[in-house]
């Protein structure tokens, strides 16, 4: 409960409802999904870094680390989120467009998978 005075010196009482917490709150949490970016020989590091900055808002250093991980491991997690958001981000990767390098045939490949 909060109390404050208004300009007319009348006391006003504000009663906020208590936050209800239930023991099973964790059980109601939406499942999490990873957005995976897969390696592609038809895309440069610059393309990957630019795409990650524009679509995900990652900082330059994080983009560089993800690009290196995709190149070294064949894939990398670029985001963990709800299923609907993961699907949106996967679709944005697919729609991003091709790289300027010769031989690039289109966007990079992305999938989503549930977090275990």
What is the reported pLDDT for 11? 62
- DSSP code for 96: S
pTM above 0.75, yes or no: no
Tokens of 29: 């949490």
Residue position matching structure tokens 């944005």: 92
pLDDT of residue 27: 62
pLDDT tens for the chain, 116 residues long, are 555 555 566 665 666 666 666 555 556 788 999 999 999 888 999 999 999 999 999 999 999 999 999 999 999 999 999 999 999 999 999 999 988 888 788 899 999 999 98
What is 50-73 written as a DSSP string?
Answer: HHHHHHH---HHHHHHHHHHHHHH
Residues 90, 33: contact at Cβ < 8 Å? no
Q: 67 and 48 in contact (C-beta within 8 Å)?
A: yes
CA distance 44 to 101: 7
Instruction: Write down all domains in the chain, each with its CATH number in brackets.
Output: 30-114 (3.30.1390.10)
Task: Give the whole-angstrom CA distance, residue 62 versus residue 60.
Answer: 5
């Amino acid at each position: 409960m909060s109390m404050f005075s208004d300009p007319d010196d009348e006391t006003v009482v504000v009663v906020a409802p208590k936050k209800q917490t239930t023991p099973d709150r964790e059980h109601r949490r939406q499942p999490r999904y990873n957005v995976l970016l897969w390696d592609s020989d038809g895309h440069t590091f610059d393309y990957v870094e630019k795409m990650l900055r524009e679509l995900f808002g990652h900082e330059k250093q994080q983009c560089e680390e993800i690009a290196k991980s995709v190149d070294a491991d064949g894939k990398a997690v670029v985001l963990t989120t709800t299923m609907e958001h993961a699907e949106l981000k996967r679709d944005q990767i697919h729609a991003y467009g091709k790289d300027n390098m010769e031989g690039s045939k289109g966007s990079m490949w992305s999938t989503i998978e549930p977090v275990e």
